[in-house]
Structure 1
């Protein structure tokens, strides 16, 4: 019975998009409870069967099970990340242990595991299609990895650990959002924000008005340590205040303190890993990734850290030289790096990146840049659908069609920051494609661009342009994956492979016919001057020592936290001391080059899905840089290349081993040399 709950009735909007106009926060928990019960009954029907396991009586109904749960969960988690009102946060807190318990009930079911193990043992005797065979392999591997082979007592301990961890990670994210909002920096005078554009000032004034601080200016915090405004603010004290607020998140003695939360997360993850037969959480996670082991990841990170730190030291010396030439010199501090980097960039390359914003009007970047590249490469077309409502008034809905006119799916864009949205940028699915379920994809891109007041047009920074292209690469992966079984839908691939398609999509930012179409002055329609484009290309390795070091520092912190044993985890009582030791260990402890994320606001690994996996970006970039070389060698932005990339990589979703799919596309394994060249590390 639906009892008037819209989440329990068939979707009425195109592509099964939930009608969020009808959904209230109180609808979610009852819908989840019904969905949990429904899937448990569906799985029970599988395990009660007296006949011997077959693919048709075990895997097919297992893949068909849980459709209601998938629909409700996708609907809810879209909102909980992008529009987390207090009511939604309360639901998420109650839901976290329930979701964990339900997941364990399926993954640890001994009768289901027996049926799948039986099929796995007979795999060579079964006449299965490649996707079906891989489905058996993955279900068996994932259930084994989750602990399905443990005895009952160990499973009971495991379930308790999982539920507690689910609650803690939810608490971490809630604390971070609240502390980020509390620490937003209030300025009483526009003079304190000298150097910002009119649009940025307008956004800061609007943010103040939204908080009841009319006449002030509020700078909200982004997820990374370095705020975009640090590169242009001329008042040093304003830069210091923003950096200090950013680095303080989650580490103050208040109700949002994440230090104890993350220490308990680390300890319980280590205990769980030991229970499952692994020395550390990193060992547990990486055993089922393309990397295979912590040793492989640590080897790559250490190989890159030394040249990255060396380059950062050279960059630091250049910045200090600029400061020393000023009338009142001082020692470079972290909040100065971005500002003086732009001074050095201007001197060496005659480039002022802040001055480029009039060429990056958001609507034009979207339509004539992001969408155009996709149309040229894959033949897909985009039609805005203002008649289809989304979950927030700022969200725009686009319908996609393939080159032959067939409908592909929906793309939602949620561009602007707000206090109810978590930091950073991401892609998620609301509906996943599956031939078995007869569904087409609906995907969302979220960014956190400040929204100008008064209806002014939005001008993006070059970094925001890059983020939009990057996240749209994830969206294309979710839209193009064409599989039979939901288990392989969209971006359901290994964590250290998932960033690969999104990074490849960044290559079109500077592609001549794409750049000339979208990078046009907001007032004159003049294209970005050719000499500026040349200087942008010439400066591609500029400041890469800093960029690589801050990223590697965060990756190493993630590995350090998750490479402790259960016994060691219990002895950690000071987060700052642990961080300092970890960064010193890899030689990335320069105080002027802070880690991209300190532990207390490292949402990727303590509340997201990247625990022991933040290395994935650089791991995937090896494939990305090698792929960019392939595109350049084969004609670039042409349909034959796009069709090959779509068919052999994006289109297979998770239905094939990712490195096998890469070899099918590239003709060989990836080589690291293109990455080293790109990041200025080749020497």
Structure 2
């Protein structure tokens, strides 16, 4: 049987031929891809002539295409539609792939050639993008350890391989325990407060597991579950919260405590081997923040005000409830306060947020209005799962921009949360188009029932589509800079900006339409929503900052300090108490054992990126408002200076060109109710 990964796809936009791909294709394709790239790197390093951009950087950028082709599909499927067999394959190849990456990053001959180019940048006559490519590659290899001696490199490779195994195991454990802890409801009366669609989704989830006649509340990745705001049964709310907080911390085979402790220790050792005080220093050195001290300065400046606001909110909730507020009570009574003070019930808004209309008249329509792009569904193209939909995206002049894949619904085989990734990234060197994927985790109702989104799910949809736009608009010459390949603490900026269109008057009136009556959402409701925007920000900012500071606490440990930590829960409690974010009614957004962003994702020591990027985001929203709002001219400027750059230039310099100055923090403080 021929392997579909061993040559470029002939489908439109080089869409992977999912109908032909089987589990047995992955291993041989990965192995072939590794061997192919080894030969390609050897062809560069065995040269005896002086290094030039053309004989070193260009073939380096061209290398590894088979491996990239298979791994993008493989890792997408392992996140969105996994299986025991796929998880085992991922765990098997994690150390092999880590060793392969290290072999390239540690290659002394390759490093010497790139160092030569870096030392002679001024005389090479390079374009701006070529110059930046040399600078970034030299920095990347230096930080990776290319300049270390052989003994240090060997130890570093061992650490990287072990970490790759542990990070894969963390995600595998979390998915398994999340499924195990889904809450079974025997009596549908216990789901009072949920909509018919939500109850239908719970019934379908139970039926999918063979629990006929019952209902199942599947868990989402953050600590809080969206249904906690609606469920009237306090005991059920408590069961859901307890299940959420127990994930991968129950002393079972899926417990992540020992896994994450080893991850922390090995990351700290690796950082010291590379000459850094701790892992956070290593990570921030290659970001816009540059040092953990700058991160701490910002987070710790915001934390007291956020905690103060959360306590003020808590007093209101307890006055309304007439009893002490527990973590599982907060969302429910927060909605009651929002209703009482602002006459806004976000749970009651769901009939206005029918998923298809949100997509077509909201998410897509906003992008058309701002950037002129259009979308048409390609039902002839098959995704990696039957629920995946494909849309062709074109520029205003009709030219092709790329493919957008949407995977909307939750399932047991999909990890929690929402995300965007690329299946193929545009670049001129290899003449590649763009395919981006958005994954969400919306509960799927029974057949015939409409999919109604929560207010937060609509916001998440706009957010993740902002990442997709970043991937689609990036136009670069070299593959290293494709799409969202930017600094980690910058990558959330474009996605957060896209959230602004959710409630923009010209957009929301078209998509927020009652799915039964056809009536648009009343203007007075929108006014009240906007008036209530700072309500709950004390809680929201506190739970986020708690997670960001917890991430920093783990990753600012030295190797000796990390080795001394043996109790995950005690460490977490102490870390949150130190910054005044240990209010039991306001749990951290992610506790350590299910903090996938930092222990199995790409955000280790980088979860601060969301609020770091939000400074730019809030400042950009002010710019749009000051310059006429939703206009094509504004969209073109933002696309030109920010989205279209991809990773091919310094992002903060690009922002200065776009804005005319550096970002200021005041709009963020106002948005989150922290200005006082």
TM-score, normalised to structure 2, is 1.00
Q: Which residue of 2 aligns with 1:654?
A: 647
* Contact 1:203 1:450 (C-alpha < 8 Å) held by counterparts: yes
Match of 2:203 in 1: 205
Which residue number corresponds to residue 85 of structure 1?
83
Q: Say whether 1:414 aligns with 2:407.
A: yes
Partner of 2:157: 159
Shift of 1:68: 1.2
Q: Tell me the equivalent position of 1:254.
A: 252
Instruction: Indicate the residue corresponding to 2:50 in structure 1.
Output: 52
Q: Which moved more, 1:17-26 or 1:32-41?
A: 17-26
Query: How many angstroms apart in 1 are the aligned matches of 2:394 and 2:313?
Result: 47
Aligned to 2:585: 592
* Partner of residue 441, structure 1: 434
1:604 matched residue in structure 2? 597
Q: Which residue of 1 aligns with 2:623?
A: 630
Quick one: distance in 2 between partners of 1:174 and 1:428?
19
Q: 2:127 aligns with which of 116, 126, 129?
A: 129
- The question of whether the paired residues in 2 share the 8 Å contact of 1:226 and 1:596 is answered with yes
How far has the Cα of 1:511 moved from its partner? Answer: 0.6
After TM superposition, give the deviation of residue 233 of structure 1 in Å.
0.2
- Of 173, 189, 192, the match for 1:191: 189
Q: How many Å apart are 1:10 and its aligned residue?
A: 2.9
Question: How far apart are the structure 1 equivalents of 2:370 and 2:127?
Answer: 30
Paired with 1:422 and 1:26, the residues of 2 have a C-alpha distance of 22
Mapping of residues 514-593 of structure 1, within 5 Å:
514-593=507-586
Residue of structure 2 equivalent to 1:94: 92
Q: Equivalent residue for 2:139?
A: 141
Asked whether the equivalents of residues 605 and 614 of structure 1 are also in contact (C-alpha less than 8 Å), the reply is yes
**Could you tell me which residue of structure 1 aligns to residue 271 of structure 2?**
273
Question: How far apart are residue 25 of structure 1 and its match?
Answer: 1.1
Q: Is the 2:555–2:605 contact (alpha carbons within 8 Å) kept by the matching residues of 1?
A: yes
Task: Specify every segment of 5 or more residues in structure 2 that has no aligned partner in the other structure, as ranges.
Answer: none
Which residue of structure 2 lines up, in the alignment, with residue 16 of structure 1? 14
Partner of 2:352: 359
| Aligned equivalents of 1:226, 1:680: Cα separation in 2 | 21
2:102 & 2:397 partners in 1: Cα distance?
A: 43
**1-structure distance, mates of 2:290, 2:447:** 52
**Equivalent pair of 1:322/1:344 in contact (CA under 8 Å):** yes
2:7 touches 2:66 (CA, 8 Å); kept in 1?
no
Partner of 1:296: 294
Name the Cα RMSD after superposition. 0.6
Confirm or deny: 8 A CA contact 2:358 2:511 kept in the other structure: yes
- 1:141-174 per-residue CA deviation (whole Å, 9 max, x = no partner) reads 0000000000000000000000000000000000
Instruction: Determine the C-alpha separation between the residues in 1 that align with 2:321 and 2:381.
Output: 53
For residues 261 and 87 of structure 1, what CA distance do their matches in structure 2 show? 21
Provide the C-alpha distance between the structure 1 equivalents of 2:407 and 2:10, rounded to a whole number of angstroms. 22
Are 1:71 and 2:69 matched, yes or no? Answer: yes
- Cα distance in 1 between the residues matched to 2:543 and 2:231: 21
1:155-554 pair list within 5 angstroms: 155-324=153-322, 330-554=323-547
Q: Give the superposition deviation at 1:21.
A: 1.4
Deviations 1:38-76 (A, max 9, x none): 011001000111110000000011001111111111111
Which residue of 1 is the match for residue 102 of structure 2?
104
Residue 26 of structure 1: CA displacement?
1.4
**TM-score under structure 1 length normalisation:** 0.99
SS state at 1:397 partner: strand
Displacement of 1:292 in angstroms is 0.5
CA distance in 2, matches of 1:11, 1:431: 11
- C-alpha displacement of 1:681: 0.1
> For each residue in 1:662-682, what CA deviation from the matched residue of structure 2 results, as whole angstroms up to 9, or x when unmatched?
111111100000000000000
User: Deviation at 1:524?
Assistant: 1.4
SS in 1 for 2:438: strand
Q: Does the 8 Å CA contact 1:59/1:136 hold for their aligned counterparts?
A: yes
Structure 1 residue ranges, 4+ long, deviating more than 2 angstroms after superposition = none
Aligned-pair CA distance for 1:253: 1.1
Q: CA deviation at 1:7?
A: 1.3
Do the aligned partners of 1:25 and 1:91 also contact (CA within 8 Å) in 2? no
Residue aligned with 1:411, SS: strand
Match of 2:613 in 1: 620
Please state how far the C-alpha of 1:457 moved relative to its aligned partner. Answer: 1.3
Number of residue pairs aligned between Structure 1 and Structure 2: 676
Q: CA deviation at 1:185?
A: 0.3
After superposition, give the CA deviation of every residue in 1:74-126 in whole Å (9 maximum; x if it has no partner): 11111010001111111111111111011101111000000000000001111
Provide the C-alpha distance between the structure 2 equivalents of 1:9 and 1:540, rounded to a whole number of angstroms. Answer: 51
Structure 1 portions without partners, runs of 5+: 325-329
> How far 1:568 sits from its partner (Å)?
0.6
How far, CA to CA, are the matches of 2:258 and 2:275 in structure 1? 26
Q: Distance in 1 between matches of 2:453 and 2:250?
A: 32
Alignment partners' CA distance in 2, 1:551 and 1:475? 23
Give me the whole-angstrom Cα distance separating, in 2, the residues matched to 1:278 and 1:540: 41
Distance in 2 between residues matched to 1:455 and 1:122, nearest whole Å: 65
CA distance in 1, matches of 2:93, 2:477: 30
Q: Is the 8 A contact 2:353 2:512 kept in 1?
A: yes
In structure 1, distance between residues paired with 2:125 and 2:7: 38
1:663 aligned partner: 656
**Alpha-carbon distance in 2 for matches of 1:517, 1:10:** 41
Q: CA deviation at 1:623?
A: 0.1
CA positional deviation for 1:290: 0.1
Distance 1:309 1:257 in 2: 30
User: Is the CA contact 1:311–1:546 (under 8 Å) kept in the aligned structure 2?
Assistant: yes
Offset of residue 518 of structure 1 = 0.3
Partner Cα distance (1:210, 1:417) in 2 = 12
Partners of 1:351 and 1:475 in 2: how far apart? 31
> 1:558, 1:614 within 8 Å by CA — same for their partners in 2?
yes
SS of the residue 1:580 aligns to: helix
> What do the CA deviations read for 1:611-641 (whole angstroms, capped 9, x no partner)?
0000000000000000000000111111100
Structure 2 Cα separation of the partners of residues 294 and 485 of structure 1: 31
Secondary structure of the structure 1 residue equivalent to 2:242? helix
